[in-house]
Amino acid sequence: MKKAILAVAALAACASSAWAQSSVTLYGIVDAAARYTSNANAGVSTKQLVPGGMSQSRLGVNVTEDMGGGLKALVNMEHRLNSDTGTAAAADFWRQAWVGIQSSDFGQVRLGRQYNILFDVYTSTYASFRYSPYIEAYKPEIGLSAGARQDNMVKYLGQVGSVYGEIQVSAGEGNSQNKSLGGLLRYNDGTWGLGGAYLQVTDTLGKKVKATTIGGSYTAGPLYVNLSWGQNKFDAGGLLGAAYTAGLLGPVLNAAANDVKKRDMIMAGATYQLTPQLNLGAQYWRAEQTHYSVALANTKSKGDYFAVVADYAFSKRTDAYVEADYTKHNGAVLFANGASKRGGAMVGLRHRF
């Protein structure tokens, strides 16, 4: 009997030790802002509470299991939500849902829905702002990231010293935005960040979108500076022009915006940490677009986007921000209501946990 009790105790100890190797972390962001937008509806301004000013509100779970021998199992599931209404932010409840394995010698492999390599290089290497990769309510640069995520993806991630790389492949499986192939390479030594990426997405008609980006950043004490270029090339008759155009400023542009042959964007900006709590940032985007239609074939549409942000951190988790932005379009691309200019401003509060 004593031997049996000792055996059970030993098994319990082993089980306890095994469980100690695993961790499950709940994380999230809750962000809400009062926003004013001019020329929003037939020239009339709007005032609203947006469910994410600097960051989209989210709730996620990270799982890590140390399997020994330098191996770890990884899981991430992340849900995006509207903090103003409590509803889901998108039809896909899990905006990320992947499982992976990590080796201390050979890198990481992830399987499932996840961020694509364009989004990864933008946000990790030459993000628009040091303290927040982009402005959720005003993010023209994300419009060149080919939807930011893909389903059915296999991604490899590896790093040697200050050099880091990723390769992604995703099967179409009948969805027009999900067949993709691409990779990124970046360097970061804490002061200089340099990187580039190429991604090709093929729709169900066999039409391709080819996306390229390259850029860099410089960090010195309180100063952060970024400069980058991105380009999307669309095959004629493809299904993804409207889908990827919506990423520029949401579904608020006219039909000419969806008639896109090639779109280029140059991005530049700086953030300065004035005090340990206060960050000041400014970012400028310049976009040019060529068209396929006969009426617009020899014309270029241009867009200028500008934003400034002041962010004050009450603590490591909670900050408040004030933001202002301005948009000006020239050419065929306009806002859906026919306006060529639009201004915006917001005051918001964000908590991370």
Residue 163 has pLDDT above 60, yes or no: yes
With 80 as the cut, is the pLDDT of residue 45 above it? yes
| Spatial distance between the Cα atoms of 57 and 71, rounded to a whole number of angstroms | 32
pTM of the model: 0.91
* Phi, psi angle pair for 20, to nearest 5°: -65, -20
User: Which pLDDT belongs to residue 330?
Assistant: 95
Asked if 335 and 253 count as a contact pair (C-beta separation under 8 A), the reply is: yes
Coil, helix or strand at residue 21: coil
- CATH architecture for the domain at 28-352: Beta Barrel (2.40)
Give the tens place of pLDDT for each residue, 266-296.
Answer: 999 999 999 999 999 999 999 999 999 988 8
Query: For the chain, what are the domain ranges?
Result: 28-352
Kindly state the tokens that stand for 194.
Answer: 């340099």
Q: What is the pLDDT of residue 4?
A: 45
C-alpha 80/C-alpha 60 separation (Å) is 9
Per DSSP (E only), the strands in 274-340 are: 278-290, 300-313, 318-330
CB 44 within 8 A of CB 353: no
CB neighbours of residue 349 within 10 Å? 17
Helix, strand, coil percent values for the chain (each to nearest 5)? 15, 60, 30
Report in angstroms the alpha-carbon separations of 116 from 43, 178, 238.
Answer: 36, 11, 20
What's the confidence (pLDDT) of residue 251?
Answer: 79
pLDDT beyond 80 at 141? yes
Confidence label for 299 from pLDDT (cuts 50, 70 and 90): confident
* Residue range 113-119: mean pLDDT, rounded: 97
